[in-house]
Structure 1
Amino acid sequence: MHISFTKHNPEISQSCKAVTEYLEKENSSREKEFENFMDEFQSHKLSEFDKQIEKQNLFFTTDEIDDEKYLDQNTATDLIDKNFSSRAKESESKFFILNISPSKEELEHLNQIIDLELKSNGFNQKEIDILNQTVKGEQQLELIKNDLMHQCLREYAKEVMKEYADNFNRDVYSNPDQLPNRREEVQINSETKNELERLGINRKDPEYAQKFQMIREQKAAELGKDLSVRKMTDKDLVWVAKVEEQRTYKANDKWVSDNRKINREIKLLESEKGNNSGKVDELKSKLHKDRTTGEIVREGLKKGGQQYHIHVIVSRYDNCPNARYKGSISPLANHRNSKVAGKSAQVGFNRDQFFKKVELNFDQKFRYDRTQSYQKFNEQKKIRTGKKVRIENLGKGFSSAITKPIKNELYRNSGLYELQKLNLNSTISKELGFRVPLSIPKTPLEIAVKTIKSVITKISDVSKGY
């Protein structure tokens, strides 16, 4: 799992509109694909775009009870843009973008879960083979699988944002509707400092911050206000996300740059007199090609294979309705051990810990047996760059790596393997707490079932001699 952070550049714009507009780029092709598919099935055609498929074209977030909430581009833009602090500076980033990219192996694992979901809905190998006999049948199956992948990734995005909030280890106000106004806050802070001085408590006291907050809450309560705090959760964040299915090679990608240079050399050789065909062929053989499609890599070329990924736009500020009390949170604030009022404390955003947790979350949620973790990659990187790293239990790990294939083979031959395969779908439902994925889109499913029944009926009629 690869996750990166991109900060908003306030010098370009104070709005996220350009980002949300960019993330709409796949919508038109998706709508066209579905509409073309529906043209031949007038009896199933809906008065509007199939609602479940339509969710793919909308931004999503969560509401107060953790249900998915869908937003159009303008609403998503307003949600982020209108969430700002009265203390915000024009020069600071107003939002951040999380780019969440599952690996090829992780996507393959999700495909296996999708196959199990199809099987539980009656799509066994026989039915899938029938659908794959025609172009329309393949389209039906692809529409269903694609939507199920979107559901899986939307579910995972919600978990990522829970870890995102938790990683800040920040507090927010418990009752934002009962916060003091500016004049009252000045009074409360002044009385709190006076009380601490009277008690002989100064900033060097390890308990200063805790006592300051306690007295501050008491002074606020005397005015009928509430300054109590609780730990920040994902419900305190303001974010929208969108799943994308395609990636293209960018102008600054290394392969694109390399190929551009090679193509210039080829053109130069071809323009020269003399027989340079051997050199040209040699240069052409060095051109980078897409590993899946075999096409020569160039700027704008679509990358082959499954390229599902998630973009999350998250506001810099929490969702406190009082603009004066909104907290500023940045995932690019370096995590460090510090001291607050003489007391040890962790500040900033621990990105290493975040990456480990979201990987573990994926593994637990989708029952994925990870072979290459972020932690292992980080350790290998430190070794390559010459940084010190502790390597523990080498003997045990080495033994495990050697014996794992043998254990797997014994496991397959024991009969337990087949038993687990039969129970895996119910395990996903019961142990993970939700059905993966949530539901199969209605219209493509109905058409697929109709296609399968039609083929089976024809086969039956032929066998009876009709």
Structure 2
Amino acid sequence: MYINITTSETGDNKGSCGALVNYLEKENRDKKSLDRHEKWFNGNSNGIRPHEVRIGIDNNIAKLGKEDSKFFLINISPSQKELAHLISQYGEEGAKERLKEFAIGVMDEYAKNFKRDTIRDHRDLLWFGKLENYRYYGYNDKEVKNGTKQRGERKEGQQLHLQIIVSRKDITNRIKLSPQNTSRGKNASHSAKLGQFDRTAFKQSGETLFDEIFGFERGLKERMDYANTMKNGTAKQKAQLHAVSALAERYPQLQTSHLTDSFMKDINTEKHSDVGGLLSSIAGGAWGLFEMLLEPAFDASGGQQTVASEEERKRRRRKKNQGMKR
């Protein structure tokens, strides 16, 4: 699940949202009949017209200056595997409607992330969503760069995704709400007073919500916290995750959501001092997998050695670069 917040696909969110609304109408311009147009939606209606979106957002800017952001764009893009899961359950048209319902839940999480007493769910926000059926190759795509695809050509496979325009101001046009505010206070209560928005927590909540609503069993390597740990974690966290990943490939029963939640929490809080401690905890749990540690083919230290050696190579490169700069 890919969830991202940007200023605007048209590159400007400090003025009218008209250009963005017009851009997001691109698929409708290829449909001659108005009945076939994909309408805008929110928590109250599924038949909102483009001009209503523009007027609603553009008029909700009380006390915002010329250089202040007036709105934000939230992109919700399920993976091919997630879309296949939805379509197998509900059919293509049914999947579209369920994605719109899912978007309402995502906007509930967006509202909660501001941690304001008066901003509780999507009804406290001014927002409009649009479902899109296709994605197109851009100049940054490797296929365009190597000449195998043309810019503007449709991408293959299921590409259903959602675009949501949300006002900077709340539904009452009184409170400023910015997902760009990542200021951290002295503690949790001080951060809430500053209006801090935790983007990582928001994206994680969308992934968790999808799994809960649609009964999607997410593999370990498909999890957002897996990618974050592999990218930003400590050497010890990466070593433990590498070892668990190798183990999970051999024992698929480890890849159920409640089990992965448990050992991902242990890894991220560094509950265990080394790989062996983590694996012993897994083997000694209620999962009946003690025999895995007895198999000679499984090397519990391999992940730690791999990650440690990679960290050592990075350290040497940094040292070499520093020497060259001197």
Please, what TM-score do these two structures have when normalized by structure 2?
Answer: 0.69
Q: Deviation at 1:156?
A: 1.0
Match of 1:302 among 154, 175, 188: 154
The equivalent residue for 1:377 is: 227
What whole-Å deviation, never above 9, does each CA across 1:220-274 have from its counterpart, x for those lacking one? xxxxxxxxxxx53221100001000111111233432343xxxxxxxxxxxxxxx
**Cα separation, partners in 2 of 1:299 and 1:336, compared to 1, 3 Å:** same
Code of the aligned partner of 2:82: E
Contact 1:23 1:242 in 2 (8 A): yes
Aligned positions of 1:137-152 closer than 5 A: 145=92, 147-152=93-98
Code of the aligned partner of 1:74: H
The equivalent residue for 2:38 is: 57
Contact 1:335 1:351 in 2 (8 A): no
Please, what TM-score do these two structures have when normalized by structure 1?
Answer: 0.49
**Cα separation, partners in 2 of 1:330 and 1:400, compared to 1, 3 Å:** same
Match of 1:366 among 214, 226, 232: 214
Question: Which consecutive unaligned segments of at least 5 residues does structure 2 have?
Answer: 257-326
Q: Which has the larger radius of gyration?
A: 1
Aligned positions of 1:3-402 closer than 5 A: 3-8=3-8, 14-31=15-32, 49=35, 54=36, 57-63=38-44, 68-85=45-62, 87-115=63-91, 145=92, 147-172=93-118, 231-259=119-147, 296-320=148-172, 323=173, 326-334=174-182, 336-338=184-186, 344-346=190-192, 347-371=195-219, 372-382=222-232, 389=237, 399-402=247-250
Q: Deviation at 1:13?
A: 6.2
What whole-Å deviation, never above 9, does each CA across 1:287-320 have from its counterpart, x for those lacking one? xxxxxxxxx2121111111111100000000011
Contact 2:87 2:94 in 1 (8 A): no
**Cα separation, partners in 2 of 1:61 and 1:402, compared to 1, 3 Å:** same
Contact 1:60 1:69 in 2 (8 A): yes
**Cα separation, partners in 2 of 1:30 and 1:390, compared to 1, 3 Å:** same
Contact 2:13 2:70 in 1 (8 A): no
Q: Deviation at 1:61?
A: 0.7
Once superposed, what is the RMSD of the aligned Cα atoms? 3.0
Distance 2:190 2:208 in 1: 28
Distance 1:255 1:388 in 2: 37
Contact 1:339 1:345 in 2 (8 A): yes
Q: Deviation at 1:106?
A: 0.4
**Cα separation, partners in 2 of 1:7 and 1:94, compared to 1, 3 Å:** same
Distance 2:111 2:48 in 1: 22
Distance 1:15 1:160 in 2: 24
Aligned length, in residue pairs: 251
Distance 1:12 1:163 in 2: 22
Distance 1:23 1:407 in 2: 38
Contact 2:183 2:191 in 1 (8 A): no
**Cα separation, partners in 2 of 1:238 and 1:22, compared to 1, 3 Å:** same
**Cα separation, partners in 2 of 1:345 and 1:331, compared to 1, 3 Å:** closer
What whole-Å deviation, never above 9, does each CA across 1:403-441 have from its counterpart, x for those lacking one? 227999xxxxxxxxxxxxxxxxxxxxxxxxxxxxxxxxx
Q: Deviation at 1:397?
A: 6.2
Q: Deviation at 1:70?
A: 2.2
Code of the aligned partner of 1:306: Q
Question: Which consecutive unaligned segments of at least 5 residues does structure 1 have?
Answer: 33-47, 116-144, 173-230, 260-295, 409-466
Distance 1:62 1:25 in 2: 23
Distance 2:236 2:244 in 1: 21
